[in-house]
A and B are shown apart, each in its own frame.
Chain A
């Protein structure tokens, strides 16, 4: 399978714990994006990498959120001190110098 992959697919955690998600983009894609989707809403942009450089961060991304793409390949999204409001689907997408983005299956986070 050469699509975007994400791990884990599901994560249940207790409030206050830290969680980390991983995204592996399509191999030749230089751009990687993170989005968050809550029930009944469309995905909302969180952050964007071109190669290893993080070029944009949404105001939605509080200080508790950090994303990295150290070698310009896979990316991680970490949430520290999780809150119940962080419960959502976290989607990763990638593209190659175009506006057409391809999404991974998402990581569904539940914060108890």
Chain B
């Protein structure tokens, strides 16, 4: 079983729509949680950290459920520039474990 499992998508949504997806992780001792964004053939870039209390960064909302070992990301008012692969990431002893990514395509 992979340490981080994600729905690969693709999620194909129109501009302005809301899209949400999630991931699950297997190691209950995981310490920190992140969403990274990766554009085609580029490096991953930190989108946001994820906290149990839930947190927002503009149009992006992330949520962590430690009991269910579940992390979610919601994108409101989608823009064409949101098209990317979103990587769910957990840390164990400073080592990042990545999911395979969820692909989102926003169409005009």
Asked if B25 is at the interface (CB within 8 A of a chain A CB), the reply is no
CA distance A35 to B95 in the complex (A): 10
Within the complex, which residue of A42, A93, A101 is in contact with B100, where a contact is CB–CB below 8 Å? A42
Query: Which residues of B lie under 8 Å from residue A25 when comparing CB positions?
Result: none
- The contact of B95 among A48, A100, A105, A106, by CB within 8 Å, is A48
Tally of contacts, chain A with chain B, CB under 8 A:
50
- A45 x B43 contact (CB < 8 A): no
**B residues contacting the other copy or chain, number (CB 8 A):** 23
> Residue A1 at the B interface, CB < 8 A?
no
Please name all residues of chain B whose beta carbon is closer than 8 Å to the beta carbon of A99 when the two chains form the complex. 31-32, 34, 91, 94, 96
Known contacts A99-B91, A103-B44, A106-B43; A45 and B100 CB within 8 A of each other: no
Interface size on A, residues (CB 8 A): 23
How far is it, in angstroms, between the C-alpha of A56 and the C-alpha of B92 when the chains are bound?
Answer: 12
The CA of A103 and the CA of B44, in the complex, are separated in Å by 7
Chain B residues with Cβ below 8 Å from A72 are none
A87 to chain B, nearest CB (A): 14
A42→B98 contact, CB < 8 A: yes
Q: Is the CB of A31 within 8 A of B98?
A: no
Contact B96 A45 (CB under 8 A): yes
Q: Tell me, yes or no, whether B45 is within 8 Å of chain A by CB.
A: yes
The residue that A42 contacts in the complex, of B4, B91, B93, with Cβ under 8 A, is: B4
Flag whether A85 is at the interface (Cβ < 8 A).
no
Known contacts A100-B49, A103-B44, A106-B43; A40 and B100 CB within 8 A of each other: yes
- Chain B nearest Cβ from A49, distance in angstroms: 11
> For residue A35, which residues in chain B have a CB less than 8 angstroms away from its CB?
96
7 A–B contacts, CB within 8 A, in A order:
A44-B98, A45-B95, A56-B95, A93-B96, A99-B91, A103-B43, A103-B45
The chain B residues found within 8 Å of chain A, CB to CB, are 4, 31-32, 34, 41-46, 49, 87, 89, 91, 93-101
Interface residues of A (CB under 8 A from B): 31, 33, 35, 40-45, 48, 56, 91, 93, 95, 99-106, 108
